[in-house]
Amino acid sequence: MSTATHADLVLTGGPVHTGDPARTRATGLAVTGERITAVGHDEVKELIGPKTEVVDLRGRMLVPGFQDAHVHAVYGGVELGQCDLTGTTGRAEYRSRIAEYARAHPERAWITGGGWSLESFAGGLPTRRELDEVVADRPVYLLNRDHHGAWVNTRALELAGITRDTPDPADGRIEREPDGTPSGVLQEGATTLVARIVPPTDAAERLAGLLRAQRLLHSLGVTGWQDALLGVFNGQPDPSDAYLAAARDGSLTARVAGALWWDRARGAEQIPELVQRRAELEHGRFRARSVKIMQDGITENFTAAMTGPYLDGCGCATANSGLSFVDPAALCEHVVALDALDFQVHFHALGDRAVREALDAVEAARRANGHRGTRHHLAHLQVVHPADVPRFARLGAIANIQPLWAAHEPQMDELTIPFLGPERAARQYPFGDLLRSGATLAAGSDWPVSSPDPLAGIHVAVNRTLPESDHERVFLPEQRLDLATALAAYTAGSAHVNGLDDAGSLRPGNLADLVVLDRDVFLAPQAVAEARVERTYVGGRLVHEAS
């Protein structure tokens, strides 16, 4: 065999889960340049030459690189360098971390960060007074875990000019004390009332945040993702410049698709700007060919758009059925226009009314333009009406699931189920129904809303329990996915959403985006979250190795 046929990299000696239906298992794989050149068994070793790097898997499992179909990487990376409240639900721990951060950063005019959980506070509502006791001399602005609300202190409210006379914005709500005084929580669009005066991060901070996030995501086996919000949102600067800078200087090792933010306060007049931005934001491994439309909010603050009203604490119907941020008729018009321009539309749709409105818009685009291969996808899908489940397959709309949320935990059991009622609560995160109806599944984390670890997400998709929880409390077990399907959603499914038809599975000719796990996860699907990533490759290049 001539040296021209020798591979650059050969991994052998362990189970290879290919994700290719024609050959699901192998024991060896070869890479030349950026691409896979062989998948098989002992015959792959024939490609080993004097300059070939050989990796003995020693029984460890090789899988396709994970892709995250819905993540906010720059925001997450920036927040890791701010006041980080993730990883705990203890109120005392929140206070301690905030106080410690304020002491460590006397030079900062504002205390910013986030990650607090709704479940930590009665009704999901902390107060300004709790923050005042920790930091009174400087304004504090802390986003909650899902980034749909902010906790602020009295100083921040004063600087923003928010009083009992300040009206709620059309797309949000100011939580109030009995006399109307703002209590310290701003929901949805009301966050911008303070966010607009928070000092923005600069370009260097955003780039540092991206690279910090990339290191974390690579360590979890993520080789590519779709950033679900490129634009100005809730006062936070547009992260696009960080991606473009990293793509140009070669520090962007991941493959990134960007979703351009649809300004819900505007209409079709912004489409030419989106076309221009799409052309400008394309370099190397970065491109922005998607448009993100946030159609509703979240269930915990009663802004997810529902086909029926929310219940109150006594189980009685209220007058509120959530918010549709974009008028449904206008939504159809906008999606038809975007689809005609070959934009993918990335919908945020949690409530069953928002899901229906998004599907109606996709149907209008299909009717007007035919099937153009634009791969529109609906993210989150917390509540889906049974009548709408089969529409995904019929319309070619991709179900972009965030599996970590489909489990019993306090935010679900205390702040969601009682206010949805039993019928709607039983329709939550219908992964199994969507799969059985023929829908294409992709998967993502929505980090920093929740953990970016794909193995944790796969664990919940398969078991419908959190990794550390009591396995006897399975959340809607009929909606569980088998391990191969869940793994495919995080690999081939998300690669499909991200326009990477030559990624997501291990077969000759595909990109060599690879992950080495420390075990064969198929031997114990009930414990998949215990697996660890030992190596991550992008295009045959090692970008992470566990110490």
* Mean local confidence (pLDDT), 404-429: 95
* Mean local confidence (pLDDT), 350-370: 98
Would you call 147 helix, strand, or coil by DSSP?
coil
User: Residue 9: which region, alpha, beta or left (left: phi > 0; alpha: psi -120 to 50)?
Assistant: beta
Helix, strand, coil shares, percent, the chain, to 5: 35, 25, 40
If pLDDT is split at 50, 70 and 90, which confidence band does 236 have? confident
What is residue 470's predicted lDDT score, i.e. its pLDDT? Answer: 64
Tens-place pLDDT, residues 71-93: 999 999 998 889 999 888 899 99
State the Cα–Cα distance between residues 484 and 487, nearest whole angstrom.
Answer: 5
Using the predicted structure, report yes or no on whether residue 499 has a pLDDT greater than 50. Answer: yes
Average pLDDT over all residues of the chain: 95
Using the predicted structure, report yes or no on whether residue 285 has a pLDDT greater than 70. Answer: yes
State the Cα–Cα distance between residues 222 and 64, nearest whole angstrom.
Answer: 10
What is residue 515's predicted lDDT score, i.e. its pLDDT? Answer: 98
State the Cα–Cα distance between residues 518 and 342, nearest whole angstrom.
Answer: 41
| Strand 398-401 with 514-517, pairing | unpaired
Q: How far from 348 is each of 259, 360, 380, 452, CA to CA, in Å?
A: 11, 14, 7, 18
* Mean local confidence (pLDDT), 208-235: 95
Tens-place pLDDT, residues 287-312: 999 999 999 999 998 999 999 999 99
What is residue 148's predicted lDDT score, i.e. its pLDDT? Answer: 83
User: Residue 389: which region, alpha, beta or left (left: phi > 0; alpha: psi -120 to 50)?
Assistant: alpha
CB-CB neighbours of 470 under 10 Å:
9
What is residue 465's predicted lDDT score, i.e. its pLDDT? Answer: 96
Tens-place pLDDT, residues 90-122: 999 999 999 999 999 999 999 999 889 888 998
* Mean local confidence (pLDDT), 46-60: 97
* Mean local confidence (pLDDT), 12-36: 96
If pLDDT is split at 50, 70 and 90, which confidence band does 123 have? confident
- Give the CA dihedral 24, 25, 28, 29, nearest 10 degrees: 10
Would you call 128 helix, strand, or coil by DSSP?
helix
Using the predicted structure, report yes or no on whether residue 188 has a pLDDT greater than 90. Answer: no
What is residue 471's predicted lDDT score, i.e. its pLDDT? Answer: 62
What is residue 278's predicted lDDT score, i.e. its pLDDT? Answer: 98
What is residue 233's predicted lDDT score, i.e. its pLDDT? Answer: 84
What is residue 3's predicted lDDT score, i.e. its pLDDT? Answer: 46
Helices (H), 161-239: 192-195, 203-219
* Mean local confidence (pLDDT), 37-57: 97
Nearest one of 86, 77, 143, 88 to 110, comparing CA atoms? 143
State the Cα–Cα distance between residues 540 and 55, nearest whole angstrom.
Answer: 12
| Strand 53-56 with 9-20, pairing | parallel
DSSP 65-87: PEEEEEE-HHHHHHHHTSEE-TT
Residues for the chain: how many in total? 547
- Specify the pTM: 0.90
State the Cα–Cα distance between residues 232 and 324, nearest whole angstrom.
Answer: 20
* Mean local confidence (pLDDT), 391-399: 98
Q: Alpha carbon 540 to chain centroid distance?
A: 25
If pLDDT is split at 50, 70 and 90, which confidence band does 280 have? very high
